[in-house]
Amino acid sequence: MRVPWPVAIACSTVTVAAAAASQMHDDEIRSVGDGASTSSSSSAHVEARQASGNPAVDSFIRRFHPSAARLGDYLYVDGGSISRLVNDSSQVRAMNATVAIPLNEAWTNQTLTMREIDRTLLPNVNLPVLWADPAGNALYTYGGDSIGTNSTYTRAQQYFKFTPAGGGRDGSWSEATPADAFKFSQLYKPARSAFTSCNGVGYSLGGYAYGGTDDRFSGADSGLPLAGMATYDFATRLWDNVSLADAFSGGNSAGGMPGYYPTNGAAVCLPDLGGAGALMFFGGRGLSANGRDSVPLQLNDMLIYDIAGKRWLWQGTRGADGAAGVPRHRRDACAAVGRGRNGTYEV
Ligand SMILES: *[C@@H]1O[C@H](CO)[C@@H](O)[C@H](O)[C@H]1NC(C)=O
Ligand SMILES: *[C@@H]1O[C@H](CO)[C@@H](O)[C@H](O)[C@H]1NC(C)=O
Ligand SMILES: *[C@@H]1O[C@H](CO)[C@@H](O)[C@H](O)[C@H]1NC(C)=O
Ligand SMILES: *[C@@H]1O[C@H](CO)[C@@H](O)[C@H](O)[C@H]1NC(C)=O
Ligand SMILES: *[C@@H]1O[C@H](CO)[C@@H](O)[C@H](O)[C@H]1NC(C)=O
Ligand SMILES: *[C@@H]1O[C@H](CO)[C@@H](O)[C@H](O)[C@H]1NC(C)=O
């Protein structure tokens, strides 16, 4: 079966150049037409909405590489960087607050007030894994590219838990504790994994590790792919690492690239599919085992994980007008899912 693309929403237009040299750090690129940039006319409202430490209206450029997750009545945005114009060149600093945006009240881009929550305990990172656990009323964060050098972050095996307060408008971060510390200590902290939470478990597919995520990779000049899917069960606090061999060692699909592993993708949870839900992964790129080559993962063949069956599947897709309607490959995109009619999902 081939699945049509009825709705495709992407918030990043960055596409992958085939076999591009791997770019591990985020140089600020202030290019016209960059999907993530913000014009200075809109920045007046950004400043009004989020006061502390904001660049002035005329110098704000953009916010980039944050992660976002919904919990209860709020959308939480954490990690990432903010850039401003200083004497004609851009200056970047890490976002130093977790931002809470209410979803239970009406607002417009003129009236929204974003609440800032202290995150001084957390490392400054781009695109951290951010998982929501609605049953336990908590968020978890793990990994991400270090912004600047932080040996506390790259040396330590740590992840963090957010407990909301005040109905979600406030809250606090604390260090979380795994039930099996030894197993957790064996996992490498990822950058650019595809993550989502689904029915009580957090998933982090692939990504890469290097000296900016994990000291055990400090000798590597480029990132090396993490050839597995890390999982974290919120209730039991157990971590695991699911093999990707079945998905990535075949020879008959986008996944049929022996020795290449997924990075820079996006993921969504389809909670009712299969016996225990399914995960759907979007694009990104395949990084070779030695970290030197990458190839785009096309969206005409998408990776799905059946949670109950512990099975990897490749699902063909097509546009309404055939292959031409399939969105172009992309990396570091965002993906969202909503319920459609008759038990379907709109992704
Ligand atoms: C606010 O939203 C309006 C209506 O959608 C839009 O026209 C306008 O450009 C937005 N303004 C900013 C500052 O984003
Ligand atoms: C974030 O950093 C800016 C600039 O250094 C500072 O003005 C602001 O108070 C900081 N905010 C928090 C929540 O730490
Ligand atoms: C910007 O340039 C002016 C003139 O060269 C200089 O005096 C000023 O210190 C610069 N500002 C910063 C923040 O570098
Ligand atoms: C470094 O990371 C630790 C947590 O791993 C954090 O507490 C600390 O604030 C970070 N420091 C900087 C400068 O980012
Ligand atoms: C999971 O296991 C694979 C295969 O052994 C390994 O390559 C990968 O680094 C592991 N993942 C993490 C996050 O440590
Ligand atoms: C929903 O399913 C019913 C029964 O199969 C069908 O008659 C109906 O057309 C479907 N509705 C939509 C919007 O697909």
Residue 62 C-alpha from the chain's centroid: 18
Chunk the chain into consecutive blocks of 10 residues (it has 347) and report each block's average pLDDT, rounded to whole numbers. 39 26 36 31 40 70 94 97 91 94 94 94 97 98 94 95 96 98 96 97 97 86 89 98 81 63 96 95 91 90 94 88 85 92 91
pLDDT of residue 220: 65
Distance 86 CA to ligand 3 centre (A): 8
Residue 45 Cα: closest atom of ligand 1 = 13
- Ligand 6 center to 338 CA (angstroms): 18
Q: Tell me how far the alpha carbon of residue 293 is from its chain's centroid.
A: 22
Atom of ligand 1 nearest to the CA of 44: 13
Look up residue 139 and give its amino acid.
Answer: L
Residue 53: per-residue pLDDT = 62
**Considering only CA atoms, which residue is closest to atom 10 of ligand 3?**
87
Q: Which residues line ligand 1 (CB under 6 A)?
A: 42, 45, 109
Index of the ligand 5 atom closest to the CA of residue 204: 13
Which pLDDT score is estimated for 123? 97
| Inter-CA distances, 198 with 114, 134, 135, 169, 195, Å | 26, 10, 11, 24, 10
Alpha-carbon distance of 266 to 194, in angstroms, equals 5
The atom number, within ligand 2, closest to the CA of 118 reads 13
What global pTM score does this model have?
A: 0.85
Q: Whose CA is nearest to atom 3 of ligand 6?
A: 342
Ligand 1: centre distance to CA 108 (Å): 8
Give the per-residue pLDDT at 250: 60
Ligand 2 proximity of 116 Cβ (cutoff 6 Å): yes
The pLDDT, as a whole number, for residue 138 is: 98
Separation of alpha carbons 68 and 76, rounded Å: 6
Note whether 233 and 200 are within 8 A (CB).
yes
For the Cβ of 96 lying below 6 angstroms from any atom of ligand 2, the answer is yes
How remote is the C-alpha of 324 from its chain's centroid?
A: 27
Amino acid 314: pLDDT: 87
Around ligand 6, the residues with Cβ closer than 6 Å are: 341-342
Residues found in the chain = 347
Top-tier CATH class for 2-34+71-77+117-346:
mainly beta
- DSSP classification of residue 135: T
- 187 C-alpha to ligand 5 centroid (Å): 7
Q: How far apart are CA 279 and CA 131, in angstroms?
A: 14
